[in-house]
Amino acid sequence: MTTAIMETIEQIAPGADLGSTLFTTLMQTTHPESSATLDSLVLAQGKVNSRPTPKAKVVPVVSADALVGDSIYTRPNGEQYHARKWGEHDDVMVLRKARMDQQFILLYGAPGCGKTALVEAAYEELYTIMGTGDTELADFIGGYVQTPSGGFMWEDGPLVKAAEEGKPLLIDEIGLIDPKVLSGVYGLMDGRKELTITANPERGTIKAKDGFYVIAATNPNAPGVRLSEALLSRFIVQSEMTTDWSLAKKLGASTQIVTVAQNINRRQASGECGWCPQMRELLAFRDISKSFGTKFAIANLIACAPELDRPVVADVLTRVYGEECRPAKI
């Protein structure tokens, strides 16, 4: 081996990379079988080529993230909700039991995966606040509104109504709300279950009735999400909610479109894209296909994806359906 190294050194041209040449010679001498592979990775300057990224394969998979339960519940809008297993329990029953035991729940997951549907299935009477970066404390507790006569009157917000009526309150997209605003809710979630309405001294301090409950949902990957420790500490039950692929099939989504969603989900997890169709999009695809045909539904799905993610979505659809797919345009 030493002789081979010395012979190579004598052949080195001015300016050649000695370290790279020594390394190459050692590998060829000690591991001849790896010589071809090494030659394909090492450039003349001694730099290493990046390995080519293998193309994603479309492989149907069976999701075990959530198994379909036996129970079916009806949401206020009349749509059915098929319960899923949360551990050993029915997810709807988990929410109802947690309300009885005053164990506040935080659900997180991508838009359209079923967070709101689950909450609506669990609670027949429900107040809701849709959080944004502009949500203020008045959106929770209420404020003065103008009357037809030109005067002003106080109108309670959903938080106050839920507390005084003993009903649940869903704070949707709670992660987008300023933590300072949310601090005004904590009094009703703590042991004292009281809230002093400083904006209206006549309302004074209200006390939550039995049955009052707070449940929240958020998309942790949305821009601007802030989940403070003070907030998280009050939700002692937290769970990620994912799209149940087997349920999507049960509800009429085709095997092909579910395969598409599963593969986009894989590529999202690997960082290739930031969007993946969820239950909402899969059921919309089902309905649009019935009305306008599969090609129309495919083009619409690509158009629904964020512009930066459309190439990945189109690529997966093309692989699964066997023909080039493009976004819808008019």
Q: Where are the domains of the chain?
A: 2-41, 88-240, 247-321
Sheet of 68-74: strand order equals: 68-74, 80-86, 89-90
Please compute the mean of the pLDDT values over residues 144-161 and round it to a whole number: 93
Q: How many Cα atoms are found within 13 Å in the side-chain-facing hemisphere of 155?
A: 8
Of 328 and 216, more confident: 216
Q: Answer for the pair 256, 295: CB distance below 8 angstroms, yes or no.
A: no
Pick the range with the lowest mean pLDDT from 79-83, 252-256, 281-285, 292-296.
Answer: 79-83
For 12-70, write each residue's pLDDT tens digit: 444 444 444 444 444 444 444 444 443 433 333 333 344 344 454 444 443 334 455 67
For 239-276, write each residue's pLDDT tens digit: 999 888 888 998 999 999 999 999 999 999 999 999 99
Q: What is the pLDDT of residue 267?
A: 94
Q: Pick the closest to residue 126 from 34, 213, 234 (CA basis).
A: 213
Whole-number Å distance between alpha carbons of 63 and 60: 10
Q: What H or E segment, with its residue span, contains residue 186?
A: helix 186-189
| Residue with tokens 């500490």, as numbered in its chain | 233
Percent of the chain clearing pLDDT 70 (strictly above)? 79
DSSP string, 285-305: HHHHHHHH-HHHHHHHHHHHS
Q: What is the pLDDT of residue 39?
A: 40
Q: Answer for the pair 110, 154: CB distance below 8 angstroms, yes or no.
A: no
pLDDT exceeds cutoff 80 at 129: yes
- Residues in CB range of 148: below 8 A, 6 or more apart: none
* Number of helices (H), then strands (E), in the chain: 15, 12
Q: Answer for the pair 214, 246: CB distance below 8 angstroms, yes or no.
A: no
Whole-number Å distance between alpha carbons of 73 and 71: 7
Q: What is the pLDDT of residue 263?
A: 95
Fold of 88-240: Rossmann fold (3.40.50)
Instruction: Give the start-end residues of each E strand in the chain.
Output: 68-74, 80-86, 89-90, 105-108, 127-130, 142-146, 152-156, 168-172, 194-196, 205-207, 213-218, 237-240
* Tokens standing for residue 90: 């029915």
For 300-318, write each residue's pLDDT tens digit: 999 999 999 999 999 999 9
